[in-house]
């Protein structure tokens, strides 16, 4: 389910439909309410605290950082995620408690400092040296129509050159 939300090929509606298909044996009629509850489940049943400001950026990706997450779980909790069988809420609790000495936590901390503008010059240089390993793209929440419109516009621009 998380991988669907990180898939740039899927639009928001498709991502939500994947979530609903995985969470509900029969998809409810009220898609908005079912989506809302599904998102709440994915967030660990926490109440939304929609904070505004600059801290709403991604510092990890379950897709891109998978190996580091697997390693961090083994290092911190002694759990092999490849064979573990646990409830999503248990996973989230353990994920929130990953040790700061893991490469995953150090990398996410560096990403947060750089994205918030609080990184030192040395940390910014380290981020550049990490290259693609450091970069996490923000989610593209545009609709299919918006993506198509942009693609058409870019095609027209390329035709001008």
Number of domains in the chain: 1
Whether 80 is covered by a domain: the verdict is: yes
Whether 67 is covered by a domain: the verdict is: yes
What mean pLDDT is predicted for residues 91-100? 95
Whether 143 is covered by a domain: the verdict is: no
pLDDT at 91 over 90: yes
What mean pLDDT is predicted for residues 30-45? 90
Asked if 68 and 103 count as a contact pair (C-beta separation under 8 A), the reply is yes
Give residue 132's domain range: 58-137
Give tens-digit pLDDT for 9-28.
888 888 889 999 999 999 99
Cα 155–chain centre separation: 29
Provide the whole-model pTM.
0.75
Whether 83 is covered by a domain: the verdict is: yes
> What is the reported pLDDT for 140?
66
> What is the reported pLDDT for 55?
60
> What is the reported pLDDT for 54?
44
Whether 85 is covered by a domain: the verdict is: yes
Whether 9 is covered by a domain: the verdict is: no
The per-residue DSSP string of the chain comes to -HHHHT-TTS-HHHHHHHHHHHH-SS--S-HHHHHHHHHHHHTTTPPP----STT-S----TTTTHHHHHHHHHHHH---TTT----HHHHHHHHHT--TTSHHHHHHHHHHHHHHT---HHHHHHHHHHGGGT--PPP----HHHHHHHHHHHHHHHHH-
Which of 58, 47, 59, 63 shows the shortest CA–CA distance to 1?
A: 63
């Amino acid at each position: 389910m998380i991988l669907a939300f990180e898939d740039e090929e899927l639009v928001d509606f498709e991502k939500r439909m994947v979530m609903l298909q995985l969470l509900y044996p029969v998809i409810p009629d009220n898609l908005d309410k079912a989506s809302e509850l599904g998102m709440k489940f994915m967030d660990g049943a926490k109440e939304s605290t929609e904070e505004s400001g600059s801290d709403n950026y991604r510092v990890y990706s379950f897709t891109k950082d998978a190996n580091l997450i697997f390693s961090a779980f083994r290092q911190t909790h002694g759990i092999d995620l490849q064979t573990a069988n646990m409830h999503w809420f248990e996973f989230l609790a353990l994920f929130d408690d990953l040790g700061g000495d893991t490469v995953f936590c150090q990398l996410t901390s560096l990403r947060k400092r750089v994205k918030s503008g609080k990184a030192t010059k040395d940390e910014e240089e380290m981020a550049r040296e990490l290259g693609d390993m450091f970069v996490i793209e923000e989610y593209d929440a545009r609709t299919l129509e918006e993506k198509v419109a942009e693609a058409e516009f870019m095609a027209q621009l390329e035709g001008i050159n």
